[in-house]
Chains A and B, each alone.
Chain A
Amino acid sequence: GDSVTQMEGPVTLSEEAFLTINCTYTATGYPSLFWYVQYPGEGLQLLLKATKADDKGSNKGFEATYRKETTSFHLEKGSVQVSDSAVYFCALQGIWGNEKLTFGTGTRLTIIP
């Protein structure tokens, strides 16, 4: 079945540091890939997504590229801020739409001033 393997946390970085959170997946066909963010005390919010190979999703300075050859969707940001402290989830969705999401375990990110 489908699965998502995500870099374990927690991750602690200083403000303005470069961020990478690794995510790899196993799925049949060409799933859609997502990064969700969960701020303290809040629900999940879609951060970015990519629906086909070589697509790059981007939002709020975060980027991730759908790499079919390495089955990866790593999240990156060039300069993190304290406000980026949150839990980040990588997820995939099957090809037929309205399908369930399969989530990674989540990575807790803490940015210190």
Chain B
Amino acid sequence: GAVVSQHPSWVICKSGTSVKIECRSLDFQATTMFWYRQFPKQSLMLMATSNEGSKATYEQGVEKDKFLINHASLTLSTLTVTSAHPEDSSFYICSAAGTSDGEQFFGPGTRLTVL
């Protein structure tokens, strides 16, 4: 099956710093990538949808200036959490779609802890 990787798998940072998370589709071209946020013991909440070469579409309530998404190539999307604060601590998951049936393949997630 299609493989999606995320890097890093976990990161701890100080409040006020920025953190970049990478999402890569390893064996297929991802025309669309999705970024989700998962709080402990809760479901995944879609943050934004990005299409290669286009600006991301953010869900209502998600600050686009805080969560910068770039989808510069068909195999790479990045999420940058700018000026991170403790409330941004969460599990961030990406998924990628690009096969003919539109199935999404999920990365293993990145746990962000902001001190």
Contacts and interface: CB of A to CB of B under 8 A. Distances in A.
Interface of A: 36, 42-46, 49, 51, 89, 93, 96-106, 108
B102 A46 contact: no
A44 B106 contact: yes
Given A43-B93, A44-B93, A108-B41, A100 B106 contact: no
Contacts of A36: 106
B97 A105 contact: no
Given A93-B102, A101-B34, A101-B104, A43 B42 contact: no
Contacts of B26: none
Interface of B: 6, 31-32, 34, 41-44, 46, 49, 93, 95, 97-98, 101-109
12 contacts: A36-B106, A43-B109, A44-B95, A44-B106, A45-B106, A51-B101, A96-B102, A98-B31, A101-B46, A101-B95, A101-B104, A108-B41
